[in-house]
Structure 1
Amino acid sequence: MSNLEGINLAMQTPLNADGAIDFAVFERLIEDYIAAGVQGLVLGAGTGQHPYLTEDECNRLYEAGIKQIAGRVNVICQTSALNMDEVIRRSRHAENSGANALMILPPYLEGPDDEDGLFAFYREIDAAVGIDIVGYNIPQSTGIAVSVPLLLRLKELRNYRWIKDSAGDFTTHQEYLQTGIDVLNGCDTTTFAALMAGTKGVIWGAANYMPHEAAKLYGLITARDLEAALVLWQKMLPSLLFIWRNPYVPAVLRAAELRGFGTGNVRRPLQRLTAAQDAALQKALAPLMVDGPL
């Protein structure tokens, strides 16, 4: 069983100007993020433009990333797909490559949305793999919400030990915590509150552009130095509010580029921020730029 407590950085997939994965930058970012003090890296996350990567690209990305990380931090690989056989194939490949856990979306886009269908989906994957599954609640993207009663059923599966909650509904998040399953926060703007409420850790896209601050925030909260944690949080919050209300992946990647992490490039059909959005992002980042990385 995996211990995914702490900051699991939902890692970007750096791209060249032509849209190809830049593995040299990818490996350099891994070193930067580990040096910043995060506890885990999520490869092929939504922030890593997973929907726009091929299965072969994901496999090569995971192989290279796991080799580079070399056990220094946890590795979570997203193996979501629309086709059931592909989910299992991707999942087994990631497991065989050395992943510590798998992050898997529910069967979105006209898949089953009733609770029996969702349970059957994860039960089949659970039987096919031997490492932890991180379920994923992000109804604003999938159209499917994981209810508390369903979560209670899922936690009885052998490998379904974690759920990433990116919905932003803090009431539901706290209900998840009452079930006894290990919860990872995925909503950038509720990170402080979630950690205060007892969430084990986070899968955090914004950590791509502020890895030092993310790691320090977690350390301050776990040490119960809450006054210092709140001061740091207030510097982080303006940019978090911006990325949550604007094109998320382009905003995170551009913020990372501005702070010296990655290329900022997106893959079609994603587009870069407009000039107005870019200016607003830079204003939101200003509190973080005063002192530079921690």
Structure 2
Amino acid sequence: MAVLAGRQRNLKELHMANLAGINLAMQTPFRADGSIDFAEWDRLIDAYIDAGIHGLVLGAGTGQHPYLTEAEANELYEKGIKRVGGRCNVICQTSALNMDEVVRRSRHAESIGADALMILPPYLEGPDDDDGIFEFYRTIDAAVGVDIVGYNIPQATGLSVSPELLKRLSQLENYNYIKDSGGDLSVHQAYLQTDCKVLNGADPTTVYAMMAGTVGTIWGAANYMPHEAVRLYDLVTAKEYDAALELWGKMLPSLLYVWSHRYVQCVLAAAQHRGFGHGYVRAPLQQISDEMRAEMLATLAPLS
């Protein structure tokens, strides 16, 4: 039985996308009036790829996915995948509250060439038991033929993916990755004991998760420090831990700030300050105060 299980895992891995490295949870560049600036979208894609990132997550939380219509998300993904042109991996978020919409969004993203789909569990009064969450992902798994990146972010969804549930989910054909934004290194390390590949999503634990064996990140703060994020990954991969921790010390002040304040707004303010995007959010989000912006930008000083 153990030999058979090993063979099944090996066969499964042959068909998996390789999402190792820095997968940048890409911002959606809005103008002041809330419209999408597609020219800036193209420029940012090129800039991030030139910085060496390994993958782009389109429609990420940092990309304000909840405030994009389905049509807007589809257009972003179509144009984004075309612009990337195979130069890096592309993960598309296809989360939605309606089950049919999740499947429809997922099939569309797959049809235009997404390497993987990032999908939140059924949040907002959906099933919160393990069987219900498993059935949700089983339905999506049966509808697509591309990797699914599950998502553990209990502070936003109210749902926690337990290590036991992750073991079950990893037996599905396409559920091959999980983004862990919970920030609990004990849970993260338990995830690493399963057959599912783990991507860190909690900014303040990034370097430690990398050292523990996570295959990579889905990282919002990489919007304002893509070069540093790639360098950190390269140093840890090379086991140059002293140099990695030295770099981490320069990154940490801003990471602690964005993580404990208004994440999206702070990341976008930092990105705009460093030449990546316009810094605007779309309603119902509000721009941060001048005071908070000044505090945020002060934390970037070690990166200069």
* Alignment TM-score, normalising by the size of structure 1: 0.98
The counterpart of 2:108, out of the listed 93, 98, 121, is 93
Query: One-letter code of the match for 1:62?
Result: Y
Equivalent position of 1:197 in the other structure: 212
DSSP-derived class of the 1:7 partner: strand
In structure 1, distance between residues paired with 2:294 and 2:58: 29
Structure 1: distance between partners of 2:88 and 2:233: 16
Corresponding residue of 2:251: 236
The 5-angstrom pairing of residues 30-179 of structure 1 reads 30-179=45-194
Q: CA RMSD in A?
A: 0.5
- In 1, Cα distance between equivalents of 2:284 and 2:254: 24
Q: For each residue in 1:72-94, what CA deviation from the matched residue of structure 2 results, as whole angstroms up to 9, or x when unmatched?
A: 10000000000000000000000
Match of 1:188 in 2: 203
Distance, in Å, in 1 between the alignment partners of 2:212 and 2:130 is: 27
Query: Aligned-pair distance for 1:181?
Result: 1.2
Does residue 254 of the first structure (1) align with residue 269 of the second (2)? yes
Whether 2:288 is the aligned partner of 1:269: answer no
Q: Find the aligned partners of 2:186 and 2:28 in 1 and give their Cα distance.
A: 32
1:292 is aligned to: none
SS in 2 for 1:33: helix
The CA distance in 2 between the partners of 1:168 and 1:228, in whole Å, is: 23
For residue 180 of structure 1, report the CA deviation from its aligned partner. Answer: 2.4
Question: For the residues of structure 2 that align with 1:137 and 1:282, how far apart are their CA atoms?
Answer: 29
Question: Deviations along 1:119-149, whole A, 9 cap, x unmatched?
Answer: 0000000000000000000000000000111
Residue of structure 2 in register with 1:21 after alignment = 36
Q: Which amino acid aligns with 2:188?
A: H
Sequence identity of aligned pairs in percent?
Answer: 68
Q: Following TM superposition, by how much is the alpha carbon of 1:288 offset from its aligned partner in structure 2, in angstroms?
A: 1.1
Structure 2: segments with no counterpart, 5+ residues: 1-15
Q: How does 1:201-216 map to 2 (within 5 A)?
A: 201-216=216-231
Q: Which amino acid aligns with 2:207?
A: F
Q: State yes or no: 1:279 paired with 2:294.
A: yes
For residues 277 and 177 of structure 1, the distance between their equivalents in structure 2, rounded to whole angstroms, comes to: 36
Secondary structure (helix, strand or coil) at the match of 2:30 reads coil
| SS of corresponding position for 1:287 | helix
Show structure 1 runs of 5+ residues with no match: 290-294
Cα deviation for residue 158 of structure 1 reads 0.3
Normalising to structure 2: TM-score of the pair? Answer: 0.94
What is the SS of the residue equivalent to 1:48?
A: coil
Q: Deviations over 1:162-212 (max 9, x none)?
A: 000000011000000011210000001100000000000000000000000
How far 1:228 sits from its partner (Å)? Answer: 1.1
Count of aligned pairs between the two proteins: 289
